[in-house]
Amino acid sequence: MSGPVPEGQAARLAGHAAGMVTTARIVFADGGCWEMGSRTHVLGILNVTPDSFSDGGLFLDEGRAADHAARMACEGADGVDIGGESSRPGAERVSPEEESRRLLPVLRRVRRENPRLRISVDTTRARIASEALDEGADMINDISAFAADPEMAAVVAPARAACVLMHMRGEPRTMQVNPLYGDLMGEISTELAAAIQRALAAGVREEAIAIDPGIGFGKSARHNLQILRRLTELSKLRRPIMVGASRKSFIGALTGAEVGERLEGSLGASAAAVTAGASLLRVHDVGATVRMLRVVDAIVRA
C-alpha cells in the first residue's frame, strides 16, 4: 500500500501535471526574444580570465576568444556569456579597470564578427555592465542578483537589457566555507523573489528577467543535487530558469573525473535540470549539449 507522497516529490508531480515547459519569454532591448516554451536555449561560456576553474587562461587572446565564440554559435549556442572576473570558489576580486581591460576588447570583436549572436556579460559591477551595454551586450548575468552593486539595476533598467538574477550565499572568496540552509529551496525561492522585486522596483521589465538557483555558489554537493531534483519548486516565481552545472565540482565528486573530463556528468545534470523546468543552460560544451537537448526537449514536450 502506498503512503503519503513526500512534500518535494508532490511539488515536482504538481509541476509536471501543470506542464513543466514554461511559456515565458526573455525579451531583449531590440524587441527580439527567446521563446522559452519552444525549446531549451543554450548560453555558451566564454571566460576571458586567467583563473576560472575550467577554462582559465585559454581565451585571454582576443582573437582566440572571438574564434571560440563563433565556434559555439556554429554549434548551436543562442548566446555567449563573457566574463572578465573569475567567480570560482576562493577567487579574489580584480579591479574594475582590469575586468574592463579583459572584457571589452573581446566583447567588441565578438559583436562585430557575430552581429546576430546574443551576448551576455557576467559581472556584478554596474560600471562594467554600463560599458558592456554601450558596446552591444544584450544581457547582464549578475551572480549577486543586483545585490553587490546598488547601481546595477539602475543601469539595466533604462537600457531595457535582459538580465539573469542568480542566487548566491556570501561571495566567491568565502561562499563554500560550510554553507548552511534551514530550508534550501524555500530560502533560494524567497531570496530570488526579493531580487526580482528589487529589479522591478528599479524599472527592469519583468519579461527581461531570468533566474538562476546558483549551483555551486554557496552550496554543498548535496545542496546542488537537491536543487536539481527540486528545481520545479522555483516555477512559482514565473520567470525562466537558467542552470549552470557544467563541469562543476559536485560532478567531479560523483564521477571522480577531472574538470576537463566531466562532459557526461555535465550532460546528465543538464538533462535533469531541463526535465525539472530549466529553459536556459549555461555550458562549456555547446555542441554536445545541443545534441542532447534534441532528445530531452522532444521527450519533455511529447
CA distance 124 to 144: 6
Q: Which domain holds residue 251?
A: 29-171+182-300
Residues β-bridged to residue 110? none
Domain assignment of residue 73, yes or no: yes
Q: Tell me whether residue 248 is one of the annotated catalytic residues.
A: yes
Encode pLDDT of 229-239 as tens digits.
999 999 999 99
Output the nine-digit C-alpha cell for 204: 527592469
Encode pLDDT of 250-275 as tens digits.
999 999 999 999 999 999 999 999 99
User: Would you state the pLDDT for residue 34?
Assistant: 97
CA distance 85 to 264: 27
Domain assignment of residue 247, yes or no: yes
Encode pLDDT of 206-221 as tens digits.
999 999 999 999 999 9
Nearest partner of 50 among 80, 89, 91, judged by Cα: 91
Tally of residues, the chain: 302
When pLDDT is cut at 50, 70 and 90, the band that residue 178 belongs to is confident
CA separation, residue 242 to residues 40, 103, 235, 277 (Å): 10, 22, 12, 9
Domain assignment of residue 45, yes or no: yes
Average pLDDT of the residues in 218-227? 95
DSSP code, position 50:
S
Amino acid at 11: A
Q: Could you give the number of structural domains in the chain?
A: 1
Q: What is the pTM assigned to this prediction?
A: 0.89
Average pLDDT of the residues in 279-300? 97
Catalytic residue (one of 25, 282, 294, 301): 282
Cβ neighbours for 160, distance < 8 A, ≥ 6 positions apart: 28, 29, 205, 208
Catalytic residue (one of 39, 102, 111, 248): 248
Domain assignment of residue 271, yes or no: yes
Domain assignment of residue 7, yes or no: no
User: Would you state the pLDDT for residue 42?
Assistant: 98
101: domain CATH number is 3.20.20.20
Helices 263-275, 221-229: axis angle to 10 degrees equals: 40
Q: Tell me whether residue 282 is one of the annotated catalytic residues.
A: yes
